[in-house]
Every structure is written in structure tokens, then in C-alpha cells.
Amino acid sequence: MSSKTSKSKHSGPSTLGKLYLIAYNGIQTLGWSYLLLQTATFFLNRGKLEDFWNEIKWTVIIFQNAALLEVVHSAIRLVPSNVIVVFMQIFSRVFLVCGMLLATHSATVSPGLPLCVIAWSITEIIRYAYYALNLVNFVPQILLFFRYSTFLILYPIGITGELLCMYHSLDEVVEKQLFTVSMPNTWNFIFNYYYFLVFYMSLYIPLFPYLFGHMLKQRRKMLGDDTKKTA
């Protein structure tokens, strides 16, 4: 994650840096809100799954890839987040968009796509709104609670959607030999995208508990006092 995921001793960005982060997080909040509105409108109007990606494609491409800036924010210490954790959280989504949804038709008609988009949208609206308001020290208690609670449901839904999209694309990847390099070739190099995807999907098994556990720790840190008060 890009901005403040926990309370820390980080002195905070400069005035210019703070203005930039407020603008960045504000724009992202609006972008993901628009995506959620697009999604709700599409399905309320009984849109067909095979047409869903064309409806939301550019919104997803723009605002999901813009999240790569969060890795830069962490790397240059504009925010106090761990750059490795940020990269792992951002990479899976960017890879799904660029490596699956833009490369295969099968992924775009997978039932996993709506799951991803809905989970991502709600998560990001809350997350970016929290970051923006936190920069001006005005975070409503209810937003703080949602920021560190909704992931309990939305994170597994999003992961399930991502895996479904990748799973449904496997046959197409094999059939079209997408991004696959066979021997012989000038570089004496071989790469099979299908096997890479199978391996990549298997990484969700160890990485999901790690990232989910990270969020649970953040939840205990940020909501711990409130939990004790209500216990």
C-alpha cells in the first residue's frame, strides 16, 4: 500500500509532497468510485458478462496502473510503507490487467472479473479516501473501521476473482502460445507462459496468508484500543 498503513514515527512528507499525495489519493478515490458506478449501472441494466470488460476497460487500465506510483512513493520514502509489501500487493493486480485481461479474451469473460472489480473498487475507494483524509488529520472513525475491516471479506473475494480469471485463460494461452518462446532461437532461451502462470497461481498459496496476516496486524494496531473498549 502506498500511504500510511500504520502509525509510525515517519516525519511525514513536505508541504509539496503532501499536496501531491492529497491530489493523487483524491483522484484515485474518484476513479475507483466511477468504476464501481460503471459496474453497478452495467449489471443493474442487465448487461452481459461478455460485454463487461469493454465497458470498464479503460477505467481499470488507467487507475490500476496508476497504483504503480505507490511503489515509487514507498521507494523514495514519500510515505512510510514497506516497498516490498507494496510491490507484492500492487503487482498481482497490475499483472492481471496487463498480463491477462489485455492479452486474452477468456479472462475478460470469466466470472472472476466482476468479483475482482467489485472487491477492488470498494477496497480502493475506502483506502484512498482514508489516505487523503489522513493527510489532513480528518479521518472519521467509521472510515478508519472500514479501512481495517472490509479486507476481511473483500480480500478473499478479490483473490478468488484473480485466480478465476487466470484459470479461465489457461486454455487460450496454450492454444495461442501467448508470450511463449520456443527453441531454437537466437538467444537460446525458452519460456513457457502457461507453466509460468501455473507457477504464479501456486504462489498465492504462501503469499495470501502472509499478506492477509500483514493486514490483520495492521488492524490490531489501528483498532486494538477500540476493540478492547468494546470487549
pTM of this prediction?
A: 0.89
Quote the pLDDT of residue 4.
Answer: 40
Flag residues of the chain having pLDDT under 70. 1-11, 225-231
What gap in Å lies between CA 151 and CA 116, rounded to an integer?
A: 13
Which entry of 155, 167, 200, 204 is annotated as an active-site residue? 155
What gap in Å lies between CA 195 and CA 201, rounded to an integer?
A: 10
175 is catalytic: no
Which entry of 24, 130, 148, 162 is annotated as an active-site residue? 162
> What tens digit of pLDDT does each residue of 166-190 get?
999 999 999 999 999 998 888 888 9
Quote the pLDDT of residue 77.
Answer: 93
Distances in Å between the alpha carbon of 140 and those of 146, 148, 190?
A: 10, 13, 53
